[in-house]
Amino acid sequence: MSMNLEREKAVLTGTQLSEVKSTNLSKILFGATVISMLISLYFIFIFAAEETTMHAAQKIFYFHVSSAWLAFMAFFVTFVFSILFLIKRKRIFDTYAYVSAEIGIVFTIIVLTTGPIWAKSAWNTWWVWEPRLITTLILFFIYIAYIMIRQMDGVWDKKARLSSVFGIIGFADVPIVFFAIRWWQTKFHPIVFGDGPSQQGGGIESSMLVALLVTITAFTILYAYLLNKGVSFENMKIKVDRYKEKLREELEK
């Protein structure tokens, strides 16, 4: 009896220690996110040079590109953890894949929202059916389907296996989105870095590049914070579901 009590206390202490570490990490990431976002706003609106043709409207470029970077990174994390789940069958891997996919969808929505706003200033139209926009829209629908699979009725491990396969296959569209303007002729999306079949890479002014890199860094820290909070929340939901299942079993006895 005493040995069982000691084991339960040891498990409880380990769980509490893990929760304390997670809370401390969350606080650190939150603080880093706030600070980095404020710094990025300074670099975007004060430090970076203003574009000569679009002027202040071009500032949306930093949020648009950083959101696209974060979405790609989030889907890559889903891709990696989906593979790990299929190999190891550990639920924590499935949780990371699911939470990261949710974050990726949110920032894909931001990309698809800021893009037309920027396009109206640059192209004088809200939307054009050109390769990058089409492939980005397809990417969005792929991961919406991934989330819909997760919401279906059924045993979680079957849903996790199916969505993992979807998360792995769906990631194939990410490099297609990135290389779309290099593989297909387009007169709208500019190639900023490097050469392409349709036009030369236009390059970017040094202060704009610094502002972009700072903003991407801030968004990456934001992603780490959202992932940490999302995984913690999902773990709490799993624990509650387990307690509810145990309680139901006890009541049925």
Q: List the structure tokens of 52.
A: 């000569």
Average pLDDT over residues 142-169: 89
Q: What percent of the chain has pLDDT over 90?
A: 45
Q: List the structure tokens of 60.
A: 């949306």
**Into how many domains does the chain fold?**
1
Q: What is the pLDDT of residue 203?
A: 60
Q: List the structure tokens of 68.
A: 């696209």
The model carries a pTM of 0.82
Determine the Cα–Cα distance for residues 42 and 36; give it in Å rounded to an integer. 10
Tens of pLDDT along 210-229? 999 999 999 999 999 999 99
Q: What is the pLDDT of residue 147?
A: 92
- 51 SS3 class: strand
Tens of pLDDT along 50-76? 766 666 767 888 999 999 999 999 999
Domain enclosing residue 44, as ranges:
2-252
Tens of pLDDT along 76-118? 999 999 999 999 999 999 999 999 999 999 999 999 998 888 7
